[in-house]
Amino acid sequence: MRATVIHGPNDIRVEEVPDPVIQHPTDAVVRVVNACICGSDLWAYRGVAARVAGQRIGHEFLGIVEETGSEVRDFRRGDFVVAPFVWSDGTCDYCREGLQTSCPHGGFWGQVGSDGGQGEAVRVPFADGTLVQLPKEAASDEKLLPGLLALSDVMATGHHAAVTAGVRPGATVAVVGDGAVGLCGVLAAHRLGAGRIIALGRHQARTDIARKFGATDVVAARGEEAVEAVRELTGGQGAHAVLEAVGTEESMRTAISIARDGGAVGYVGVPHGGSAGVDIGQMFGRNVSLRGGVAPARAYIPELLPDVLSGAIDPGLVFDRTVGLEGVPDGYRAMDDRSALKVRIAF
């Protein structure tokens, strides 16, 4: 089959690789229908996150089950499924508690020895613990596919930011970052009943989506200027809940600074600034909490799915370009130079 492989910084290729086969009785093989490129894939693309030359890449996909191992009970050939960005056994303490990202048998698509989502097919370990069933008819519904695809990571991650930041009905929320995760954070906060949502972002095409998703205010600034603006919008107090969806030192500093005393930052941007942006002295004096982390998408998909199917939310709006598999390298370039927000791959 053909799949996307990363050979080094700025070196993404689509190549022939071995077809996936069932290796364990709990495996399934899924033929990919839709996949996409994640902002976090760019860390590898840019050489910031290390990868072994030849590693697969991509961790978000929808597909049709092609084959199942002898112990797979919940899925059969022909089922349409979404995969969260981490696989998990579904039976350990953490899986049962809804923190599948901490499953001791879990793993991340594209890690050495596994398939990536940006390929024609994927071997899925622990299919029963990992995959979520979708309505079969949705597999050919071009209106629904983008929203369903967003559940594999970006919408679940935005939701995790909102949940961990403690968004409640009526709350004032601020979202740092206008990437696809930040935008989904806006949508998640709106879905959870936030009274006011301040989106921080400087790219109008993106903040326009933020407004569609429920943002009531946009702050087109960064750093101190953004902090001032949010304080001014909130009577000097800041936001009850801040969603941090970037992962740099500056974005974390901004997020903590715009949190209201006693409030929380829910951070989901993969940290690339160490702890330098975490001003523990400021957090201590103002009782600002820092929560979040890698989102247990598997736990959230069942909650979010009905709202995508009903059209109550459409996180698929974050996709502004669609390519075929052979167009994936172009997709990386477009996301890297910010000419695309998020690229969908249709097989």
- Cβ 62 to its own copies shortest distance, Å: 25
Q: How far is the CB of 222 from its own copies (least distance, A)?
A: 20
Q: Are strands 86-87 and 11-16 parallel, antiparallel or unpaired?
A: unpaired
Q: Which residues contact 132 (CB under 8 A, 6 or more apart)?
A: 81, 82, 83, 84, 151, 298, 301, 302, 305
Supply the minimum distance, in Å, between the C-beta of residue 171 and its own copies. Answer: 13
| Count of CB atoms situated within 10 Å of the CB of 117 | 31
Q: Look at residue 71 and give its three-state secondary structure.
A: coil
Helices assigned H by DSSP within the chain = 41-45, 93-97, 127-130, 145-150, 154-164, 180-191, 204-213, 223-233, 249-257, 280-286, 297-310, 328-336
Min. distance of Cβ 109 from its own copies in angstroms?
16
Closer to its own copies by Cβ: residue 34 or 101: 101
> CB-based contacts of 271: which residues, under 8 Å, 6+ apart?
247, 252
Q: Smallest distance, Å, CB 269 to its own copies? A: 9
What are the DSSP calls for 201-233, one per residue?
Answer: -S-HHHHHHHHHHT-SEEE---HHHHHHHHHHH
CB of 300 to its own copies, least distance (A): 13
Count the neighbouring beta carbons within 10 Å of the beta carbon of residue 297. Answer: 28
Q: Which C-beta is closer to its own copies: that of 278 or that of 317?
A: 278
Q: Cα 120 to the chain's mean position, in Å?
A: 21
Considering the complex, state which of residue 86 and residue 215 has its C-beta at the smaller distance from its own copies.
Answer: 86
C-beta closer to its own copies: residue 3 or 167: 167
Residue 291 C-beta: closest distance to its own copies, Å: 4
By beta-carbon proximity to its own copies, the closer residue of 99 and 346 is: 99
Closer by beta carbon to its own copies, 103 or else 184: 103
**Between residues 259 and 308, which has the closer beta carbon with respect to its own copies?**
259
Q: Which two tokens stand for residue 335?
A: 């996301």
- Integer Cα distance of 189 and 172 in angstroms: 10
Q: Which amino acid, 99?
A: L
> What are the residues binding its own copies (CB under 8 A)?
93-94, 97, 99, 101-102, 164, 237, 252, 261-262, 264, 267, 270-271, 274-276, 278-281, 283-294, 296
Query: CB of 226: closest distance to its own copies in angstroms?
Result: 21
Task: Specify the 3-state DSSP secondary structure of 150.
Answer: helix
Nearer to its own copies, 262 or 311 (CB): 262
What are the structure tokens assigned to 55, written together? 């590693």
Which residues are CB-neighbours of 143 under 8 A, at least 6 positions away?
none
